[in-house]
């Protein structure tokens, strides 16, 4: 693997369409699929999603917590899910939202960004709210491994505003500060930087923010949280081509039927492509 994450992501989005499908095996979805809320159900769920979609979607985003809740056996399923997803041609963004300082942050990074780790992923979601500088070990290892990061900047949950909209002494709010840091990380990178931001698709007009960070924007909120692909142009404007919309329950609720999962993913992908074409 010699290409950077940004290069691999740009190619995957251009070839397969800009769709990220979450792998979120929470208890209610396992029940909807007729599966038990146990390791066997977890494995069946995850394998079905990967078998249905790995050869056609650009990115999978497994939510680590839904695997970790089953302990070491759940983590073993997560390792297999990552391996099979990447073998099928999809990129993997591990949604673990890790954030700490010093050697602890370095250890988190090694778990997901070291090439020989069984959980090695193309990118990792991280939290910068111990200060952007606390992410330095993850940034360094991502660069070394050709991986990427998605940094929480303007999230889709309403509670996020009390931190992300807080105004610093220089008059810039915290969310805008994170975007500025990421723009600096991606300076000069082509065709796309490897250090992205998480920016919710539910947030409405963000024209007061500079979203042009020369990196990808992971956009949760489509489907169950209320946003639609048609909302994307109003939220992201001129940077829409760099947006990676995430859909989880909107696709997953159609399982365990493989054909229905594929149809749903293809429908979302087509709607996202149509929205991008408008900008």
Taking the C-alpha atoms of residue 149 and residue 63, their distance in angstroms, rounded to an integer, is: 15
Cα–Cα distance between 28 and 7 in angstroms, integer?
A: 36
SS3 label, residue 134: helix
Choose, from 80, 97, 238, 273, the residue flagged as catalytic. 97
Whether the bond into 92 is cis, omega within 30 of 0 = no
- 25 CA to centre of own chain: 16
Is residue 61 annotated as a catalytic residue, yes or no? no
| Cα-only R_g, the chain | 18
Task: Convert 47-72 to b/e letters by CB count within 10 Å (16 or more is b).
Answer: ebbbebbbebbbbbbbbbebbeebee
CB atoms within 10 A of CB 77: 22
- Given the structure tokens 């919309």, which residue do they identify? 245
Nearest to 125 by CA among 272, 258, 262, 246: 246
Q: How far apart are CA 219 and CA 227, in angstroms?
A: 10
How far apart CA 271 and CA 63 sit, in angstroms, is 24
Distance from CA of residue 3 to its chain's centroid?
19
Catalytic residues: 97
């Amino acid at each position: 693997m010699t290409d950077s994450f940004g290069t691999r992501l740009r190619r995957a989005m251009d070839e397969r369409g800009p769709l990220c499908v979450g792998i979120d095996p929470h208890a209610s979805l396992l029940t909807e699929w007729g599966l038990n809320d146990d390791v066997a159900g977890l494995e069946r769920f995850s394998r079905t999603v990967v078998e249905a979609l790995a050869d056609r979607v650009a990115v999978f985003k497994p939510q680590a917590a839904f695997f970790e809740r089953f302990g070491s056996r759940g983590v073993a399923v997560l390792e297999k899910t990552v391996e099979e997803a990447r073998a099928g041609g999809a990129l993997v963004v591990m949604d673990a939202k890790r954030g700490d300082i010093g050697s602890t942050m370095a250890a988190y990074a090694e778990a997901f960004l070291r090439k020989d780790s069984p959980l090695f992923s193309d990118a990792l979601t991280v939290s910068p709210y111990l200060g952007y500088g606390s992410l330095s070990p993850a940034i360094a290892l991502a660069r070394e491994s050709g991986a990427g990061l998605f940094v929480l900047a303007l999230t889709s949950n309403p509670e996020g505003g009390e931190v992300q909209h807080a105004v610093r002494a220089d008059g810039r709010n915290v969310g805008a500060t994170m975007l500025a840091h990421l723009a600096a990380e991606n300076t000069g990178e082509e065709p796309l930087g490897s250090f992205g931001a998480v920016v919710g698709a539910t947030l409405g007009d963000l024209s007061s923010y500079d979203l042009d960070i020369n990196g990808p924007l992971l956009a949760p909120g489509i489907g169950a949280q209320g946003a639609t692909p048609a909302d994307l142009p109003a939220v992201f404007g001129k940077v829409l081509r760099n947006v990676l919309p995430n859909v989880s329950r909107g696709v997953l609720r159609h399982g365990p039927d493989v054909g229905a999962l594929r149809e749903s993913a293809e429908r979302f992908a087509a709607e996202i492509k149509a929205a991008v074409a408008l900008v």
